[in-house]
Structure formats: C-alpha cells, structure tokens
C-alpha cells in the first residue's frame, strides 16, 4: 500500500520524484471519545463529548439508477476517535449481530472494540505493542511495518480465536525484520496476549512491501498477501520466484491445533512452486477482498513508479512483477508475456495518485446501481473509483476525498467503509 521513504540513497531521488504531490498531512481532531454519525453528517470529525447514538435522519425517497454516476457519491463520518491512530484494518465481531467490530492501530499495536451504533466508546480489545516493529515515518510518509491485519476464525463463536498479521524485529532466525501470522484466544472480549501461537514466520529483507492482509476465503482457508521483500525494482528477483513465499498470496489451512496444513488443491502442491502459494508475481498487495456473491478474489497491487493495478486473482496466477509494471515492461529479461495474468485495470501516477488501496465489490442495498462494481481508492490522492466487474470498461471516479485511505471495510449488509489516517472511519454514500 504505502511506500517506505527510508530508501537506499541510489533510489531516493527517483522515489521522491514519484511521490511529489501525494496527499498532504491531515490533522487529527482533538478529543478522545468516539463520534458516531448517520449518513447525513458532513465529512469532518467531531471532537469531544461522550459516545452516544445519534438518531438517524429520515430516509430519503429511493433513487433508481441504471448505472453509477461519476462524481455522484460522497463519504460521510461513520465513526471517529483519536484512539484510531493509523487504523489499517476493520473486522465485524462474529456473534454480535453486526453491531460490534474491531479496528487495529498500525504503529501502536492495539486492538479497539467498537460499538457501531455508538452505545459505548472504543474499548481496548488487545495490545501487542511489545511484539511489533512499529516502523518509522509520519502520516505523509508512513512505513509498512507494525500491526497490519486481523481476521476472526470462521468458527469464532465456538473456538474464540482471532488471527493477526504483524511485523517484528524479534525473529527466530536473528534477522532484522520478519512478518508473523499468529493466532490468539479471546475471552470476555479480551485478547489473551500471553497465549499467542505463531503459525508462520517469514523473513523480510527490507522494511517495505510487507503486503499486509489476512482474510478467510469462502472455502474457510486463510489467505495472506505478502509483498516482494522491499527495496526498489525487486532487487532480489523474488516476484517471479514461485518457490518464495514473498511476492505472493498464500492459502493455508489453519483449522487444526498445530501451525498450518497446505490445502491439497493448492496450485503448486507437488509442483514447481512453494506448496503454500496460491498466486504470485505481485509487488506489494496491500489489500485484497472476496466478492461475497461470487467468491472472486480482488486485489490492489502497488506499483513501482508509473502504474497502480487492480487484479482479479486466480489460483496459480502469475501477475507479472517484476517483468511488468501494469501493462508495461519493467525488467523483461528472460520474461514471456504469455505466462502472465494481465491487470484488470491500471491507473497512472499523476502527481497526486501514487499508491492503490484495494477495496471491495459492492453488494449492498443502498446503492443498487453499484452492485457488482469493485470499489477501490488511492492512498495519496484519496480518489475513489469503481470498476464494473461484469464488463470490460474504464472505471469511473465516484468521489475525490483528499483522504489518506489506508483500507476499506464491509458492513454486514454490504455497505462500504473507508478507513483513513485522520482518526476517522467513513461510509460511502450517494449524494
């Protein structure tokens, strides 16, 4: 998602040129309490006060549209709190009727339990600050290290397990940095940090391109996206190495009491690649999601210097990095284009946009004209696009938010949220 700005001197100038014009600093609102707002609220965090539900405005008459209108959408405050310090992931807590969720803070390593109707303020759900490497940088130029993702077990109401992905300097092999996939038991709405079970440890050769999401698929297997190990231009030639876990989407069976098993139908079981790999050839797959209707896996892969891309990920797919960036050749030596899955769509760095944040295929009821459209955004510019997944056509701009969009999230009914680095969660709505 977000590039690391502590780069080797040899590439510092090139990176600086790419990033010129990215979204500026957003000042967090004062106060420390939760703010809840219905879709009629303006997109400005409200400071102070206690957490109380706000009566929703009367529903407007339904509007029937055959297709989404370019520029016909906006983002409005859903929840805001200064506890949301660099929030990067959001998950509904199973068994709460869709009324509670957890968000995580990247650099502080904390989990916050939320009431989605404002009935209680953010409550600490867990804290693994002592385990993570919080990284460096600031809101304009954040690192990609720290607490990056969480997801609940498909059997959470029975087994009480939550899965977490984070980076650490406390690596078993003594390396400088590594990524951990771990699980923790939860009891009485509290993560038992002392009972962590590490499932997978992956050494990271550099501080960026850690990828960073975990989700359970419709098959109940755990999927994890990992970047190419960092640096500029894939200096370790990892992207095209299907035997390396980096630069890939992994697919794991974590249903047992031990670490993990490899699903027998993974594409490289008894083949040329690593058994865990589901797809490869990715540079920095910061965020991905599953279409709740079709089960398709959609992913936003952050580009090097020119192109950002949206990928429809298929089993065994090779997505071209570093032979290609988007549709353009990047380092073509020894590469064959026939081997690659092309991007579904790309967009160019334009002085504002420079780092894709993958989103979701919309399946909600409030904006039926968006049904089946993949909604995604850019971290630097805050622009939000939608792509019709059913036909080959250019995406449309839904709204230009000017927010530092770190992630998207999906409510139980299919409505979409945006997580931003101004301590606020926003909801996407029609004008």
Please check whether residue 429 lies inside any domain of the structure.
no
Find, among 348, 363, 345, the residue nearest to 413 by Cα: 363
For the segment 90-99, the average pLDDT, to the nearest whole number, is: 97
333 SS3 class: coil
Nearest-Å Rg of the Cα atoms of the chain is 20
Q: Which of 141-155, 209-223, 273-287 bottoms out in mean pLDDT, i.e. has the lowest? A: 141-155
Is 415 within 8 Å of 90 (Cβ atoms)? no
pLDDT band at 28, cuts 50/70/90? very low
101/155 Cα distance (integer angstroms): 16
Q: Indicate whether 378 belongs to any domain.
A: no
Within a domain: 398: no
Q: What is the pLDDT of residue 60?
A: 52
Confidence band of 33 (pLDDT split at 50, 70, 90): very low
- For residue 243, the domain's CATH number is 2.120.10.30
- Quick: pLDDT tens for 189-201: 999 999 999 999 9
Residue 103 placed within a domain = yes
> By residue range, what is the domain housing residue 92?
9-32+77-362
Lowest mean pLDDT among 76-80, 172-176, 242-246: 172-176
* CA nearest neighbour of 117 among 83, 79, 148: 79
* Residue 48 CB neighbour total at 10 angstroms: 10
Inside any domain, residue 203? yes
Q: What DSSP string describes 183-221?
A: EEEB-SS-B-GGG-EEEEEEE-SSSS-----EEE-TTS-
**Which comes out higher in pLDDT, residue 380 or 50?**
380
pTM: 0.86
Q: How many CA atoms lie within 13 A of 52 on its CB side?
A: 6
**Using 50, 70 and 90 to split pLDDT, how confident is the model at 209?**
confident
Q: Is residue 64 part of a domain?
A: no
Of 69-73, 80-84, 170-174, give the lowest mean pLDDT range: 170-174
Is the pLDDT confidence value at 22 over 60? Answer: no
Report residue 257's pLDDT band, with 50, 70 and 90 as the boundaries. confident
How far, CA to CA in Å, does 183 sit from each of 50, 107, 251?
33, 19, 16
Tell whether 239 is covered by a domain: yes
Mean pLDDT of the region 63-90:
92
With a cut of 70, say whether residue 406 has pLDDT above it. Answer: yes
- What's the mean pLDDT in 166-180? 85
Overall number of domains in the chain: 1
Q: Within a domain: residue 348? A: yes
Q: pLDDT at residue 53 above 50?
A: no
Position 48 scores a pLDDT of 31
Report whether pLDDT(243) > 70. yes
């Amino acid at each position: 998602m977000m590039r690391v700005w502590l780069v080797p001197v040899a590439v510092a100038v090139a990176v600086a040129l790419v990033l010129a014009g990215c979204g500026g600093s957003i000042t967090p609102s004062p106060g420390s309490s939760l703010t809840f707002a219905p879709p009629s609220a303006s997109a400005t965090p409200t400071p102070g006060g206690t957490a109380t539900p706000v009566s929703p405005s009367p529903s407007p008459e339904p509007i029937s549209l055959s297709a989404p209108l370019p520029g016909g959408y906006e983002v409005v405050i859903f929840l805001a709190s200064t506890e949301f310090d660099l929030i990067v992931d959001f998950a509904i807590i199973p068994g709460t009727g869709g009324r509670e969720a957890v968000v995580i803070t990247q650099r502080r390593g904390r989990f916050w339990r939320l009431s989605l109707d404002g009935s209680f303020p953010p409550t600490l759900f867990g804290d693994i600050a002592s385990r993570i490497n919080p990284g460096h940088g600031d809101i304009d130029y954040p690192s990609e290290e720290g607490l990056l993702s969480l997801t609940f077990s498909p059997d959470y109401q029975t087994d009480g397990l939550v899965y977490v992905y984070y980076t650490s300097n406390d690596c078993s092999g003594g390396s400088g940095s590594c990524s951990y996939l771990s699980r923790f038991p939860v009891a009485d709405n509290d993560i038992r940090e002392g009972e962590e079970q590490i499932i997978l440890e992956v050494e990271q050769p550099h501080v960026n391109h850690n990828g960073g999401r975990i989700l359970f698929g419709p098959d109940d297997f755990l999927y994890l996206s990992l970047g190419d190990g960092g640096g500029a231009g894939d200096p370790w030639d990892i992207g095209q190495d299907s035997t390396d876990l980096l630069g890939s989407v992994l697919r794991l069976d974590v249903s047992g009491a031990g670490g993990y098993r490899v699903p027998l139908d993974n594409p490289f079981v008894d083949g040329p690649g690593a058994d865990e790999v589901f797809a490869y050839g990715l540079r920095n797959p910061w965020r991905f999601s599953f279409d709740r209707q079709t089960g398709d896996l959609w992913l936003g892969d952050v580009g090097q210097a020119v192109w950002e891309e949206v990928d429809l990920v298929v089993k065994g797919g090779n997505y071209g990095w570093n032979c290609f960036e988007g549709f353009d050749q990047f380092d073509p030596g020894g590469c064959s284009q026939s081997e690659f899955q092309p991007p579904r769509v790309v967009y160019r760095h334009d002085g504002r946009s420079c780092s894709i944040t993958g989103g979701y295929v919309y399946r909600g009821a409030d904006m039926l004209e968006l049904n089946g459209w993949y909604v995604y955004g850019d971290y630097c510019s805050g622009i939000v696009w939608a792509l019709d997944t059913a036909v080959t056509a250019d995406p449309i701009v839904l709204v230009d938010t000017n927010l530092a969009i770190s992630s998207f999230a999906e409510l139980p009914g299919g409505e979409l949220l945006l997580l931003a680095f101004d301590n606020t969660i926003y909801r996407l709505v029609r004008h």
